[in-house]
């Protein structure tokens, strides 16, 4: 499918909180259609960087472009309708049906024509049965709720998806299943995706480019293959060592059975 997602360019971005620089003079270009993972320890600046792209946080200095447009020249409400945003705690409205949760972005934009059909289309897209449209969030499992979160983020047909630990609260089986399904969705829809994750194994599987952040800066920028081959530096190697050690431990256990 042709790429529909935009390119992203960040130039000399600084985000200052008092004396602390959460993001420190960072420049980065992301190609249209990329699936990029931001990894690093807590406090490295990953979530702050993500939030600056859709203006939940504004940079202290520097410029951000989505496609050819400067982010700070776009009304934040209009900007966020063009961007899908998915996060760990999902944030479904507990008093709304699943159908209304999915369609809330269309409702806020005044786009009511064809909303029922769009909700039905999105339920199919995230592989949820149509009868779930009338249920309430507390009637769904965690994995089902996260699928609704993806459907809601995709409702306004954004080209860009920002995801902050979207699978972190899920059990391992559900997490693996949704990771696989999102990768297929990204490719099918031609999206540009940036995902923040603490899970290096998830990043290695999901992303085509991995950025390792530390102290508000990018310490490594590499493909999964480059990271696994040890070509991306010490910070990246320390993160890759964790899933590598886990895999080796499982192999040893299997030999002893």
Residues 6+ apart with CB under 8 A from 208: 34, 35, 36, 223, 224
Residue 169 sits in the same domain as residue 144: no
Looking at residue 56, which CATH number applies to its domain? 3.40.50.300
Residue 73 sits in the same domain as residue 169: yes
Rounded distance between C-alpha atoms, residue 194 and residue 86, angstroms: 10
Number of folded domains that form the chain: 2
Which pLDDT does position 1 carry in this prediction?
44
Q: Does 84 reside within a domain?
A: no
Which pLDDT does position 3 carry in this prediction?
57
Structural domain boundaries enclosing 257 = 1-78+160-257
Residue 233 sits in the same domain as residue 212: yes
Which pLDDT does position 230 carry in this prediction?
73
Residue 113 sits in the same domain as residue 133: yes
Residue 198 sits in the same domain as residue 252: yes
Residue 2 sits in the same domain as residue 29: yes
Q: Which of 141, 157, 173 is the last residue of a domain?
A: 157
Residue ranges of the alpha helices (H) in the chain?
46-53, 76-81, 98-108, 115-125, 142-154, 172-189, 200-206, 224-228, 234-256
Which pLDDT does position 124 carry in this prediction?
92
- Distances in Å between the Cα of 174 and the Cα atoms of 66, 89, 111, 152, 168 are 32, 15, 33, 19, 11
Residue 145 sits in the same domain as residue 234: no
Helix (H) or strand (E) holding 214: strand 209-214
Residue 142 sits in the same domain as residue 227: no
Residue 132 phi/psi, 5-degree rounding, is -70, -15
Residues of the chain with pLDDT under 50: 1
Q: Does 86 reside within a domain?
A: no
């Amino acid at each position: 499918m042709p790429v529909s997602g935009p390119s992203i360019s960040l130039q000399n971005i600084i985000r200052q909180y008092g004396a602390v620089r959460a993001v420190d003079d960072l420049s980065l270009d992301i190609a249209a259609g990329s699936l990029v993972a931001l990894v690093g320890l807590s406090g490295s600046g990953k979530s702050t960087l993500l939030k600056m792209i859709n203006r939940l946080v504004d940079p202290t200095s520097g410029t951000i472009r989505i496609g050819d447009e400067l982010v700070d020249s776009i009304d934040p409400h209009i900007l966020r309708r063009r961007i899908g945003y998915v996060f760990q705690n999902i944030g479904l409205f507990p008093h709304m049906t699943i159908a209304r949760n999915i369609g809330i972005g269309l409702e806020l934009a005044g786009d009511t024509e064809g909303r029922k059909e769009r909700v039905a289309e999105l339920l199919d897209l995230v592989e949820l049965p149509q009868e779930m449209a009338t249920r309430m969030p507390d009637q769904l499992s965690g994995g089902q709720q996260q699928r609704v979160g993806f459907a809601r983020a995709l409702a306004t047909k954004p080209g860009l998806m920002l995801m902050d630990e979207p699978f972190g609260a899920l059990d391992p089986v559900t997490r693996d299943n949704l990771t696989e399904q999102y990768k297929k969705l990204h490719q099918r829809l031609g999206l540009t995706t940036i995902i923040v994750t603490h899970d290096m194994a998830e990043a290695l599987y999901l992303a085509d480019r991995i950025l390792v952040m530390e102290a508000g800066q990018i310490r490594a920028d590499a493909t999964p293959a480059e990271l696994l081959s040890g070509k991306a530096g010490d910070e990246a190697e320390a993160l890759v060592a964790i899933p590598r050690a886990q895999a080796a431990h499982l192999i040893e256990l299997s030999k002893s059975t």
